Structures are given as structure tokens and as C-alpha cells.
Amino acid sequence: MDAISVIRTKRDRGELSPEQIDWVIDAYTRGEVADEQMSALAMAILLNGMNRTEIARWTAAMIASGERMDFGALSRPTTDKHSTGGVGDKITLPLAPLVAACGAAVPQLSGRGLGHTGGTLDKLESIPGWRAHLSNAEMLDVLDTTGAVICAAGDGLAPADKKLYALRDVTGTVEAIPLIASSIMSKKIAEGTGALVLDVKVGSGAFMKTIEDARELASTMVALGTDSGVRTVALLTDMATPLGLTAGNALEVRESVEVLAGGGPQDVIDLTLALAREMLDAAGLKDADPEKALADGSAMDVWRRMISAQGGDPDAELPVAREQHVITAPSSGVLTRLDAYDVGVAAWRLGAGRARKEDPVQAGAGVELHAKPGDTVTEGQPLLTLHTDTSEKFEYALKALPGSYDIAPAGTPFTATPVVRERIA
């Protein structure tokens, strides 16, 4: 086989054969298929889609490109969560230690930022000393001693996905539903978790802009997981507005610690608890009370142990950007819209994300929100604060924000969209 014939098949809206899929994934992993060729194929998949048979085979080929983990020796049931990516989505940070505090083991393999969405590993790396890359033995040790681990997938786990994940980020193919589904589920199935809860974002700041696309993605992933013997459920959650009051790396870590300390924004708390209940239920721990574990400090205790076990200092000062720029409300009234995508693009342009897969990120860069939809604002009060180490980035970031919010006259009725919109099992 050759890459060009595979690309042409999908370019011409044909169905890739099992042999073509197996070959192209294996050849790309070995370096026989070049990045530009896989980029062309990814774009053809984005434009022309894949059927369920193709997606299942693509996922199986991704899994077969590497090893599979086994947590059978653990004394706790394993349960994991994956988000499809959003703006201000720091939920993994308080969620993993919270679920661990309730008796489950949480092997959380996370990724880096994709496009305008943040990456969990980028966020945690703003903590001095924290290590994302652990050997399998180190991962199991942290999991066994603390109950939770958040780390990068090892080089041996679905290596085809690791290459393709970074490529999609810089070639405009992140939004392809088949590639999202296979990327997520190949890692999660190979990871060996017993149960999985999917947080499928929907709205302007998500890769799935419509509820119909979100349902399609969620249903595809639930089927892939269930067929592989992993108890899988999905929540469709709102991403029209950024989650919480921050979008950026150190900014989101700081807000996550506030949640673990008993404070923080209500939408972050609500979604953290909703996902925790689903994870615990899937793990067979129906009687566990995550709200109590959040309130009594036991989740914070797990957080501190988990960060320390991966070389981080939970008491260290987090990085702060050198430069700030404040955007104020142009009029008084009710804030009725704050677009998550625009805020995410601004944070990315400030240095919180990357334009090329090898680019570094700024730990302190991002956007701080001073009001959320439904809040009353007065003319001249701060709406957003932009953070960066590089002042020349302000001009480019500001170009993403005109038209990103609406302020209606005082007294205008406002109904908030619930953070959890649907459940798919």
C-alpha cells in the first residue's frame, strides 16, 4: 500500500478498508508516512467523515500501535474521566483527588492544549517541580499511594495517537469527530481503566458547536468503550461561556485550589460534583459522598499528596504574568453573553496555548473574568483582565474580543443554561 492511495480513497468519499487503516496507522507510527501525508488524510476525514466500522477499526489500530496497561493489582476500582476540551476547563484538577478521596483509583492520562482549548498538563506544569512524564512503574506507585495520578500517556501507550494528536493541533483538523473519538478512546481503552465518564463539551468554545454533533461524538465514544468492556457514560456540558473565572495555566490551577479549599466559582463546583457522582457510580461506589469529601478537606489532602508525589510543591507560589491589560464595561446593565471561543482565542494569543506543536506556553498567560452572564455590571468596571509576559501580544489578543460579549439594559430577564445538558449511556 501507499499513503497517496489511502488519501485518495477518503478524499473521494470512499470507505477505508480495514487493511488500509491498519497499514496507514502502523506506517505513520514508524515514520514511513510523512506528517504532510497524514495531514492530508486527517483533512479528508474532517471533510468527508468516517462510518462506525471505520472509526472502530481506526481506534483498534491506534490501540495496537502500543502497549496496554493493567490495574488489576490495585485494591480500589478504577474510574477515569475525559473532557473533549473547553475554555477554562480545569475540572480534572479538583475532580481526580475528589474521586480518589471517595475510595476510587483515578488513572488520569491527560493531554496538552489543542487550538483555543487549554491542556491539563500545561496547567499543572505551572506548579514548580511538577512532572507530567512518569514511567508506568511510577504511575502505578503514585496511583497506589495517593489514589490519583494525572500524567502524560507513556510513549508506549497508543504512540500513533501521540503523533496524530500534535499534528491535528497545528493543521486545523482538531474538530474531526472520528479523530476526536478514536484519539480519546484509544488511550482510555489501552489505559485499562474499568469505568470512564466522558465530558463532551457543546457550544462556541467547544469543538462540537451544536448539540447534535455533541450527541454524535458522545454516542460514538460510549459505543466504542462499551464494546471494549469499559463501563462508559457521557455528559453533554455547556461551553458557550468559559468555565469558572479564568482561562490560562497558572490562573486555572489557582482557581482549582480554591475549589478544593471550599470556595471557587459555582459552575466549576457543580460540574466537578456531577462528574464525581458519575465516576463513583460507574466504579460501584454508589454510597460515596463527594460533596462531603470536598467540604471536609479530604480531597485537598489527596491533591497535596498527588502533587508532591509527582515532584511538585503544593505550597509554592504560582507564576504570575508580568503584564496585565484590563477591559472595562462600555455600559451598565446585565451581561447576557460572554463568548467562550473568543476568550479562548485571546488566551491562546496571549501565550497560554501554542501555534506550533513544539512551542512553549507561558505559565502565567491567560484571561481573568470579572463577570459572568447574568451578572449586573456598571460602566467602567473591569470585565476581563488579560495576562501575558509579552506586552506586544495584547494587540493580537484584543482583536479576538470585539463582539465577544453583550450587555443588555438593567432589568433584562436572563436564564442561565444548565452546566449539564444531557446524559448519554
- 181: cell is 473519538
Q: What is the rounded CA–CA span in Å between residue 47 and residue 49?
A: 6
Rounded to the nearest 5 percent, the helix, strand and coil shares of the chain are 45, 15, 40
Query: In the Cβ-directed half-sphere of 222, how many Cα atoms lie within 13 Å?
Result: 17
425 and 226 in contact (C-beta within 8 Å)?
A: no
209 is catalytic: no
Candidate list 80, 161, 169, 267, residue with the active-site label: 161
Beta strand 333-338 pairing with 366-369: unpaired
Annotation says 161 is catalytic: yes
Q: Specify whether 168 is catalytic.
A: yes
Q: Which of 168, 354, 387, 421 is catalytic?
A: 168
Residue spans of beta strands (DSSP E) within 134-249:
148-152, 195-202, 231-238, 246-248
Select which of 90, 187, 349, 387 is catalytic: 187
Is 135 an annotated catalytic residue? no
The sheet that has 405-408: what strands, in order across it? 376-377, 333-338, 405-408
CB 40 within 8 A of CB 7: yes
Question: What distance in Å separates the CA atoms of residue 372 and residue 419, rounded to the nearest whole number?
Answer: 13
Instruction: With CA atoms as reference, report the closest residue to 76 among 110, 35, 104, 98.
Output: 104
Q: Indicate which residue of 10, 57, 82, 304 is catalytic.
A: 82
CA distances (Å), 3 to each of 19, 29, 52, in order? 12, 13, 22
187 is catalytic: yes
The rounded distance, in Å, linking the Cα atoms of 330 and 191 is 49
Q: Tell me which of 39, 110, 126, 183 is the catalytic residue.
A: 183
Q: Any idea which residues carry the catalytic annotation?
A: 82, 161, 168, 183, 187
